A and B are shown apart, each in its own frame.
Chain A
Amino acid sequence: MNAVVASLPGGRTSSQTRFERNSATAEQSWVRAVVLTLALVFFGLFLLLPLIAVFVEALRKGLEVYWTALADADALAAVRLTLLTALIALPLNLVFGVAAAWAIARFEFRGKHLLLTLIDLPFSVSPVIVGLMYVLLFGAHGWFGSWLAEHDIRIIFAVPGIVLATVFVTFPFVARELIPLMQAQGKEEEEAAVVLGARGWQVFWYVTLPNIKWGLLYGVILCNARAMGEFGAVSVVSGHIRGLTNTMPLHVEILYNEYNFAAAFAVASLLALLALLTLVIKTWVEHRTHTSGHRH
């Protein structure tokens, strides 16, 4: 189909899409111009401009102010806490994602549809409510509040609360990526391995993992971006103690509310760079899976 359309005479350049080369699917040139203009103006105004604004505002007062803001002890503590949080949340949700995908994509059982819906649930809960839930459980007046106080364990307004809230908001990412991928791949290869005498972990390590590695990476990348950037949920449970329970997004907020805009945007620019890196890796993984035929 593609080849037929591509070989049609017409003499237009090969960079055109197959739709533009085909007179039945091409719009008049003024329609095309209007659609493109509207789409790209919308893109520029709502996506590109805010991104550029972050970097311009960060560097507005010069490189020296920029570096000073990043080298500040509280900023560095915020970076460390953000990295630590992601480092705990990622493996937890990675293991869960693989386990859930193995159960759901490889076996038939009742209630599977309900389980899938429940796994998606954290995406539809407002971040603020996520924070509230953990305050209700572990706060001073919460279910486990008095028990925790007796044993001198702090969860709310401390690092464990931040980690828990982050685990919740990033809960579905890996599972969501792996389940459709493993369902599409089917279980024949793994069954063949078992019939040939492979043990359970050997099957997973040598058959399943090589097949899902790109999907896994994809899920981990998205999970990481959200883990490092979460604001609402973490804001409720953090207590905003500088140098102790401040993640990078929370540090941005504190600086911004102190009218220290250059410093706020400097820390924000680090997060924006992380977002761009995430998109680069994501695009690269999509390209790889596209060319190796594992696209889903």
Chain B
Amino acid sequence: MSGLSRHSVLPGFGLSLGYTLVYLSLIVLLPLAAVFAKTMSLSFVEFWAIVTEPRVLASYRLSFGTSLLAALINTVFGLLLAWALVRYSFPGKKLVDALVDLPFALPTAVAGIALTALYAPNGWLGQFIQGDLGIKVAFTPLGILVALVFIGLPFVVRTVQPILEDLDSEFEEAAASLGASRWQTIRYVVLPVLLPALLTGFALAFARAVGEYGSVIFIAGNIPMVSEITPLMIITKLEQYNYAGATAIAVVMLLLSFLMLLLVNGLQAWTARRTGRNR
């Protein structure tokens, strides 16, 4: 072990790394391996038949579609919110800043029933949206979108905010003194610096939304082919004791998640290179 940790006088390398690896293997890697091992009990034809069932395909379309849209909404409004928090002064700013993390701290089931209470046909907002506009929110894909916007809200704000805070106003002063309009300065000077952070926040919000369960199932209505998300399909198969079926869908989701993780890692490295920040 000591051969690996060259030039260090500090003790505890073997103990700390050994413990880390054992704990990681037991808690994370072994259970994940079980999922992939279970899939191996299926032939490829069986696997393919499960993951392309019409009801499952409909759930991918719904999960990925609403997650993508929710992440886009969060990118736009997250940027506006981050901008307001860094650049403007307004009453209650500290409170707003602290509450942005609420979706990280609030249990998803609580968020789920609260949003349903707001958007149900007889709910606080639902009675007006459905009564006056004729749009049904809860128990439709639109309700799922609302829940996913809620849980993804902090990601873009919290990735963009620190970059915006660190951004030296010298660049904007230079642009202004060279005759650029404010919009040109933002478009050509500020936004390019924020781009990697925006993309990272988008990817994080999307990845979280695809796997989300607790806040969605209350407001989704869970109607087959219409408002069943992919995680719910796993639960449905499990409740029918169809472990192989549940696992096959889980593998599809896991592969996508790993792909997103790689993408986020790459984006964060890009952010670090662009801005000189470590995180």
Residues of A within 8 A of B (CB): 1, 5, 15-20, 22-25, 27-28, 31-32, 35-36, 38-40, 42-43, 46-51, 53-54, 57, 95-96, 99-100, 102-104, 106-110, 115, 117-122, 124-130, 132-137, 139, 141-143, 164, 167-168, 171, 180, 183-184, 187, 190-191, 194-195, 199-200, 203-204, 222, 225, 228-232, 235-236, 248-250, 252-253, 256, 261, 264-265, 268, 271-272, 274-276, 278-280, 282-283, 296
Instruction: Provide a sorted-by-A list of 25 A–B residue pairs whose CB atoms are within 8 angstroms.
Output: A18-B169, A25-B173, A31-B182, A51-B106, A104-B20, A106-B10, A118-B29, A120-B261, A122-B28, A125-B254, A126-B210, A126-B212, A126-B213, A130-B31, A137-B34, A139-B243, A143-B34, A164-B27, A171-B27, A190-B10, A191-B10, A229-B110, A249-B109, A249-B110, A282-B105
A253–B170 Cα distance when bound, in Å, is: 53
B98 contacts A by Cβ under 8 Å: yes
A20 touches B172 (CB 8 A): no
B113 touches A268 (CB 8 A): yes
B87 touches A25 (CB 8 A): yes
B89 touches A17 (CB 8 A): yes
Interface SS, B side: helix
B28 touches A115 (CB 8 A): no
B253 touches A129 (CB 8 A): yes
10 smallest A-B Cβ distances: which pairs?
A229-B107, A126-B211, A231-B214, A232-B213, A133-B31, A200-B11, A275-B105, A24-B176, A103-B17, A50-B114
B257 touches A39 (CB 8 A): no
B34 touches A117 (CB 8 A): no
B213 touches A132 (CB 8 A): no
Partner of A96, one of B20, B146, B212, B261: B20
A265 touches B113 (CB 8 A): yes
Interface residues of B in 233-279 (CB under 8 A from A): 234-235, 238, 243, 246-247, 250, 253-254, 257-258, 260-261, 265, 278-279
A128 touches B211 (CB 8 A): yes
Check A183/B96 contact, CB under 8 A, given A20-B89, A108-B6: no
Interface residues of B in 13-28 (CB under 8 A from A): 13, 15-17, 19-21, 23-24, 27-28
CB distance from B213 to the nearest CB of A (A): 4
A124–B253 Cα distance when bound, in Å, is: 10
Check A231/B107 contact, CB under 8 A, given A117-B261, A268-B114: yes
A53 touches B110 (CB 8 A): no
Which chain B residues border A47 with CB–CB below 8 Å? 99-100, 102-103, 150, 153
Additional pairs, 4, CB under 8 Å, beyond known A282-B101, A283-B94: A20-B88, A231-B214, A252-B109, A268-B110
B223 contacts A by Cβ under 8 Å: no
B45 contacts A by Cβ under 8 Å: no
B207 contacts A by Cβ under 8 Å: yes
B118 contacts A by Cβ under 8 Å: yes
CB distance from B277 to the nearest CB of A (A): 10
Check A19/B86 contact, CB under 8 A, given A256-B218, A278-B105: yes
A20–B88 Cα distance when bound, in Å, is: 7
CB distance from A220 to the nearest CB of B (A): 13
B260 touches A124 (CB 8 A): yes
B9 contacts A by Cβ under 8 Å: yes
B80 contacts A by Cβ under 8 Å: yes
Closest residue on chain B to residue A102 by CB atoms: B16
Which chain A residues border B16 with CB–CB below 8 Å? 99-100, 102-103
Which chain B residues border A264 with CB–CB below 8 Å? 113
A222 touches B104 (CB 8 A): yes
Partner of A183, one of B8, B21, B253, B278: B278
CB distance from A146 to the nearest CB of B (A): 15
Closest residue on chain B to residue A284 by CB atoms: B98
B133 contacts A by Cβ under 8 Å: no
CB distance from B86 to the nearest CB of A (A): 7
Among A38, A110, A128, A184, which residue has the most Cβ atoms of chain B within 10 A?
A: A128
Which chain A residues border B66 with CB–CB below 8 Å? none
B172 touches A24 (CB 8 A): yes
B107 touches A228 (CB 8 A): yes
CB distance from A6 to the nearest CB of B (A): 12
B169 touches A22 (CB 8 A): yes
A15–B107 Cα distance when bound, in Å, is: 35
A39 touches B235 (CB 8 A): no
